[in-house]
Amino acid sequence: VTVRFARPTSLQAAFEELQDDDAHLLAGGVSVVLLMNLGLLQPGKLVSLAGVPGLRGITRSDDTIEIGALVTHDELARSAVLAAEVPAAADLFTRIGNIRVRCAGTLGGNLAHADPAQDPAALLAVLDAEAVVAGPDGERTVAVAALADGPFSVRLAEDEILTSVRVPVATDGARYSYIKFLSGSQDDYATVSVACRVALDDAGRIAGARLAAAAVGGTVVLLDEQARLLEGTAPDDEDAAAAFETAVRDAVDPAGDRRGSADYKRHMAGVVAGRAARAAATS
């Protein structure tokens, strides 16, 4: 089998390379190369983004952090801007896979690969982040929470390229947490993970809460309805926490695998959601 390789040096040239039916986009290659080696992906042409300018920076403006699609997990883990504005996000990127995966894997590739057990999408969902998507006909934005429409499937056309992710900077003092629960080794994908956003009122009660979970469904599962059970309660209110954890357990539908049975993961989704809410409220 012969695979052609294209290394366009502009977005426009990349769109043109992607017009071939057998073309497939390549970012860090972490997932693409594995899938090709397993015979699950058989592109006739790889279109590398490595030579396309403008996809690598992390830029802070007044109300947004914009992250280029080719920014690696390791760069995000080391980003002073991210650590200052959303420490939970900087921490999340230190916990992806292993150092080789973090140094090669990119944020754009991670979101486009859309493995439901991956980490960034859940936290980006509660952050209300948007993906910027460019195509031959122009640019559009998609909420990161709505990017995936199933396991390993995203709402992107074959010739569209995710160019950046825009993360709004919270203005209401909201706090964030991301809890990745692992039942195996520390460098594994999550067994269950939960991202939480909490805003407290002047009395220290929860004024607003949002929740998203990974590895418990075909895509990131938004659990804002369940998070609303925490509103008006104190972060250490054990009755409210118990009702909230039960509601989360009832709302998720994980698949059993080598990391645990479906029942175990459902139970842990409740436990981890409780931990995530407390961690956000006390961060």
Residue from 96, 145, 212, 240 touching ligand FAD (CB under 6 A): that is: 96
Q: Which span sits near ligand FAD by CB under 6 A: 99-107, 171-179, 221-229, 249-257?
A: 99-107
CB closer to ligand FAD, 15 vs 189 = 189
Q: Is 194 in the site for ligand FAD (CB under 6 A)?
A: no
Least distance in Å: CB of 211 to ligand FAD? Answer: 18
**CB neighbour list of residue 237: distance below 8 Å, 6 or more residues apart:** none
By CB under 6 A, tell whether 189 contacts ligand FAD: yes
Say whether residue 181 binds ligand FAD (CB under 6 A). Answer: no
**Shortest gap between Cβ of 99 and ligand FAD (angstroms)?**
11
Burial code (b: 16+ CB inside 10 Å, e: under 16) for 22-58 equals ebbbbbbbbbbeebbeeeeeebebbbbbeebeebbeb
Applying CB under 6 A, which part among 21-29, 143-151, 217-225, 242-250 lies near ligand FAD? 21-29
Helix (H) / strand (E) element for 212: namely strand 206-214
**Are the beta carbons of 72 and 97 closer than 8 angstroms?**
no
What sign for the dihedral angle of Cα 229, 235, 237, 243?
A: positive
Residues 221-250 that bind ligand FAD (CB under 6 A): none
Chain positions 47 to 76 lying near ligand FAD, rule: CB under 6 A, are 49, 69
Q: Which of residues 23-42 bind ligand FAD (CB under 6 A)?
A: 24-32, 34
Yes or no: say if 42 and 36 are a contact pair by the CB < 8 Å rule.
yes
Quote the least distance from Cβ 182 to ligand FAD, whole Å: 9
Q: Angle at CA 212, nearest 5°, toward 211 and 216?
A: 130
Total number of residues binding ligand FAD (CB under 6 A)? 30
* Closer residue to ligand FAD, CB minimum distance, 51 or 232: 51
The string of DSSP codes covering 150-179 is: ETTEES--TT-EEEEEEEEPPSS--EEEEE
Report the alpha-carbon distance of residue 216 to residue 276 in Å, rounded: 15
Q: Which of residues 108-127 bind ligand FAD (CB under 6 A)?
A: 108-110, 112-113, 118-120
Q: How many CB atoms lie under 10 A from the CB of residue 100?
A: 11
Binding-site ranges for ligand FAD (CB under 6 A): 24-32, 34, 49, 69, 96-97, 101, 104-106, 108-110, 112-113, 118-120, 156, 161-162, 189
